[in-house]
């Protein structure tokens, strides 16, 4: 009987700890850097499969949308890159982070970094090259998260 009580208490403690941990992660907003770390981990875990999808889409040169696991990807020939959405936060506006695969390794003509700020608004896009043809893109649609500066 004592062993069952101890086991129940331990199981309850572990479940409670995991629940609190997940809740804290959900409530603490990501910064530019923590979102970048998430993207790098995702890329490291899935690079070969994602690269195969991207190369095929770039070769077909037609608009495409699809799913890679739970994440969406898209390609528009005019953009000349494939975007894999990784995650986001916020309901009105908010921030989103993606991985971008480019055909030639440049993003909007830039070789290492890219920054665009809406002239009469508060939308911001910042991208930085990770490796080879891969870029990390931070999209901020309410202009409140300036952690990339």
Q: And the tokens for 47?
A: 């690079």
pLDDT at 102: 95
Q: Looking at the structure, do residues 78 and 123 belong to the same domain, yes or no?
A: yes
Q: Looking at the structure, do residues 16 and 54 belong to the same domain, yes or no?
A: no
Q: Looking at the structure, do residues 8 and 72 belong to the same domain, yes or no?
A: no
115-144 pLDDT tens trace: 988 888 888 999 999 999 999 999 998 765
pTM for this model (two decimals): 0.78
pLDDT at 111: 87
Q: Looking at the structure, do residues 25 and 50 belong to the same domain, yes or no?
A: no
Q: Is the residue at 146 inside a domain?
A: no
76: containing domain: 31-140
43-98 pLDDT tens trace: 999 999 999 999 999 999 899 999 999 999 999 999 889 999 999 998 767 899 99
Cα separations in angstroms, 75 against 16, 34, 54, 121, 144: 42, 26, 8, 26, 28
pLDDT at 76: 93
Q: Looking at the structure, do residues 25 and 36 belong to the same domain, yes or no?
A: no
Domain count, the chain: 2
Q: Looking at the structure, do residues 17 and 82 belong to the same domain, yes or no?
A: no
Neighbouring C-alpha atoms within 13 Å toward the C-beta of 111:
0
């Amino acid at each position: 009987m004592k062993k069952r009580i101890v086991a129940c208490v331990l199981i309850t403690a572990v479940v409670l700890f995991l629940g609190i941990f997940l809740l804290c992660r959900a409530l603490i907003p990501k910064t530019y850097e923590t979102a970048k770390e998430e993207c790098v981990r995702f890329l490291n875990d899935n690079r070969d499969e994602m690269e195969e999808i991207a190369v095929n889409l770039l070769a077909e040169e037609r608009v495409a949308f699809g799913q890679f696991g739970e994440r969406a990807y898209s390609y528009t020939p005019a953009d000349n890159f494939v975007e894999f959405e990784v995650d986001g936060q916020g309901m009105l506006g908010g921030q989103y982070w993606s991985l971008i695969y480019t055909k030639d390794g440049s993003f909007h003509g830039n070789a290492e970094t890219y920054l665009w700020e809406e002239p009469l608004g508060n939308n911001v896009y910042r991208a930085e090259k990770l490796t080879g043809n891969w870029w990390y893109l931070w999209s901020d649609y309410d202009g409140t998260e300036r952690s990339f500066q």
